[in-house]
């Protein structure tokens, strides 16, 4: 039952734990098979050391159980909203990594201060507002996903594959499981760099637009020339 997908999601979760992006049972990762219409995700509250491919839970796009004896992550509704809203996204990571969560708790976006940031994200990492009382009552985790998707209505989510949820932490995504994990690792490093830059110089300016565009497009634009061809 969707063994290849479950193995990929197991590897994602073990990778984010190995990279130091999650602690205890905080955080989770998932991936989608759009042809089959199913999502595999970490089970709720299970230690990373205890994860196996068999413990990964599979659900459909409505969140209905397809495979597994364990309950899925409580953040499943957020993942589902991201998959429904961002049709080119193939995997999602949620972490409470230190520096990215510091920005989320401080309720500040991560500004693009240098070309390292611009190589991966086309502009600042946005801060998504916390759900209000009524939104929480109707469904807390679903509301978080809805707020993320609504923020990107006029923005390509793959040009900025991450968002900081106020008072909570980051959600990160990518076309593939490998890309989602890479983006999560990079986000944490960029958050640390921004934190220390702003500590050294609170008035540090954001990167000039022409430099931002050059660095992002040379790696991700239609005429990109970064890396090897073929």
Contact 79, 92 (CB under 8 A): yes
Set 54, 60, 156, 226: catalytic member: 226
Q: Is 226 a catalytic residue?
A: yes
Which is it for the CA torsion 98, 121, 9, 33, positive or negative? positive
* CA-to-CA dists, residue 75 to 26, 43, 95, 160, 218, angstroms: 11, 10, 11, 21, 35
Contact 10, 178 (CB under 8 A): no
The one-character DSSP state at 125 is: B
Nearest 5°: the CA angle 185, 30, 18 is 40
Q: Is 83 a catalytic residue?
A: no
Q: Can you list the positions of beta strands (E) in 134-216?
A: 162-165, 169-174
Q: Can you list the positions of beta strands (E) in the chain?
A: 28-33, 38-41, 57-60, 65-67, 91-94, 127-128, 162-165, 169-174
Q: Can you list the positions of beta strands (E) in 77-145?
A: 91-94, 127-128
Set 119, 120, 146, 156: catalytic member: 119
Active site residues: 119, 226
């Amino acid at each position: 039952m969707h063994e290849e997908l479950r193995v990929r999601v197991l590897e994602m979760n073990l990778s984010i734990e190995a990279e130091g992006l999650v602690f205890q049972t905080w955080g989770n990762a998932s991936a989608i098979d759009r042809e089959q219409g199913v999502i595999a995700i970490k089970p709720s509250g299970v230690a990373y050391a205890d994860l196996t491919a068999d413990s990964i839970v599979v659900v459909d796009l409505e969140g209905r159980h397809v495979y597994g004896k364990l309950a899925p992550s409580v953040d499943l509704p957020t993942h589902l909203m991201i998959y429904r809203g961002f049709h080119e996204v193939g995997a999602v990571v949620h972490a409470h990594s230190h520096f990215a969560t510091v920005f989320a708790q401080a309720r500040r976006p991560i500004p693009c201060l240098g070309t390292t940031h611009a190589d991966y994200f086309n502009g600042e990492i946005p801060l998504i507002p916390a759900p209000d009382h009524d939104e929480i009552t109707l469904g807390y985790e679903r509301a978080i996903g809805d707020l993320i998707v609504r923020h990107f209505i006029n923005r390509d989510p793959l040009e900025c594959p991450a968002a900081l949820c106020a008072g909570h932490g980051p959600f990160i995504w990518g076309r593939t499981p490998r890309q989602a994990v890479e983006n999560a690792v990079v986000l944490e490093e960029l958050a640390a760099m921004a934190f220390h830059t702003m500590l050294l110089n609170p008035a540090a300016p954001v990167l000039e637009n022409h430099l931002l565009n050059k660095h992002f497009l040379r790696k991700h634009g239609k005429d990109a020339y970064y890396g090897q061809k073929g």
